[in-house]
Structure 1
Amino acid sequence: KEILLLLVADMKAEYIPPREDVIMQNESPDELYIIVSGEVEMLESEMENEQTVWTFKSGDMIGEVGAFCCRPQSYTYRTKTLSQLLKIRTSNLIEAMKTRQEDNIIMIKNFLQHHKKLKGLRLGDLLHGVGGDYGDPNMYVNLLTVASTGNAT
């Protein structure tokens, strides 16, 4: 309950018009967003070509991979319709998660569960481009799994 109060106090509601970029590809992860209403597209951009990879709806969150993994965003997130988003600063989320270890584990488990329900889209896909200079993208998935279970063996 305490962690929810901390997060709610730090959330900011925003209405964003259609076709507005919320998060840009390769941007540093400063915030994550919860979609209250509307739709947000996840776009893969190469040169001047954009392709919709996924469409997020009410109840979904965006930007959390960058927040939890401290990596630049792999995709651009753009509103498809008028959208109400709750914005949470990454630093506020991390501070709130430090308050109680039990809540931290629950939040990581919820994060992993959220990505399991995204049919056809793997967490590794969200970390697209994290390989190469940044290392193995599976490492971040494995770290999140270890953090959620508390078991490193």
Structure 2
Amino acid sequence: MKQDIIVRIVLQKPTEGVDFGLQKGSGHPYETIQLQQALAQDIRFECSVTVKGDRQKDEKPGFFGPFVQGSPPEKFIYIDIGTYAGQTESIWGRRLKVPLRGITWDTIEEVITSSDLVLETQVPGSGKDGSPACATVKPFGGWKINKLNAYM
């Protein structure tokens, strides 16, 4: 099986005045897209991820594409923050890793049966001290199925 699905990442209460963007590509020649400056509300990012594998042979689905980083079994998506997102005057230069773990074949099959479903996760956009969240999201609440035109 090879199928593209839409994933949505909602950053809850990101640090105001800081730029956030979705990283496309890896290494030095990456590109930051869907650039948004945090104001007083949550921000969200959507991208397409390719799912590969055979349910009969593979315990977990494999994830690929220009937004997918890392190697199995810990694939993830980067959110670029501050200078990493091109905001040269920012005091912040960080990345947030949003893991692609906990997604089952049942979940994938449900999403691909309808063109109006996405996989969505909500993650903190800032730490306890108010600075932008960074590193791997902890604790990670996982992925849920939602409508394309709505978010949790």
Same fold (TM over 0.5): no
TM-score (norm: length of structure 1): 0.25
Q: Which has the higher helix share?
A: 1
TM-score (norm: length of structure 2): 0.25
Q: Which has the higher strand share?
A: 2
